[in-house]
Structure 1
Amino acid sequence: MNVLILVVDDEPDVTDLFRQQFRRELRAGRFAMEFAHSAPEALACVNASDGASLILMFSDINMPGMTGLELLPLVRAARPDVPVIMITAYGDAETREKVLAGGAVDLITKPIDFDLLRAAIESRLDSVAGPT
């Protein structure tokens, strides 16, 4: 199965960090990762991806121009089947409430716990693969 995970963050080093953290999985072809460095770029990726391949999206909240919170309802409208996990340095209760009310399935705080992300990815891979 060819599946794609979209990571949205305006910080360029995030791309290298994710590639390093998931290098084994990416090399093994378990999934592919695409990176968008702005909300408009993310929307283009979401709209360009075919229905079966995009399975999960991680998005930073604080980005210039359109924030992750503003991006969230647009992604949910375009692809309601794709879970979105928001990432932020500010994991206070109010932010968590806004994120979940906006349709995200979770909020992860920075510094990123990659074991937590890995578990979320594995869970999503299991759910799209179906029973074996």
Structure 2
Amino acid sequence: MTLLVLVVDDEADVEVLFRQQFRRDLRARRFEMDFAASAAQALRRVADTGERTLILIFSDINMPGMNGLDMLPEMRARRPDVPVIMITAYGDAETRRTALDRGAEGLLTKPIDFDQLRQVVETRLGPAT
């Protein structure tokens, strides 16, 4: 069983950053990472993960087109079994409340604390492996 983490962000350097931070895990094939540059692309990706088991979604909030907050209810409807963690530069109380009300399991602020993010991934890997 191949485990999958999906990262949704319109910034091109995010993929490089995530792959660098998780390079040992990816090389060891503990899980795979997939990347979507928009909410619409992410919604298509979760519909067809192939033989991989989607265990976690990280999503930016501020994206062109459908933003991450608008994507949340649709994502939760399609994949209620997969936790969504929002990542944003705006960690104010209203944004946090809106994200949680729309189905996010948590909210991390930028700049990303990769130790904290790794803990989230490890928590999901534990029961999934």
Which TM-score applies when normalising by structure 2? 0.97
Q: Tell me which residue corresponds to 1:103.
A: 103
* Identity among equivalent pairs (%): 64
Q: How does 1:1-132 map onto structure 2 within 5 Å?
A: 1-50=1-50, 53-129=53-129
Pair 1:49–1:115, CA change in 2 (3 A): same
Instruction: State the superposition RMSD in angstroms.
Output: 1.1
Separation in 1, partners of 2:83, 2:50: 15
* Partner Cα separation in structure 1 for residue 68 and residue 51 of structure 2: 22
Structure 2, unmatched stretches of 5+, are none
- Structure 1 stretches of at least 4 aligned residues deviating more than 4 Å after TM superposition: none
After superposition, give the CA deviation of every residue in 1:27-81 in whole Å (9 maximum; x if it has no partner): 0000000000001110111111258610000000000000000111111000000
CA 1:125/1:67 → structure 2, altered by over 3 Å: closer, same or farther?
same
SS of aligned partner of 1:3: strand
Query: In structure 1, what is the Cα distance between the partners aligned to 2:14 and 2:52?
Result: 25
* Structure 1 runs not aligned, ≥5 long: none
The amino acid of 1:56's aligned partner reads L
**What TM-score do the two structures reach when normalised by structure 1?**
0.95
Shift of 1:85: 0.1
Give the partner amino acid of 2:3: V
CA distance in 2, matches of 1:82, 1:50: 16
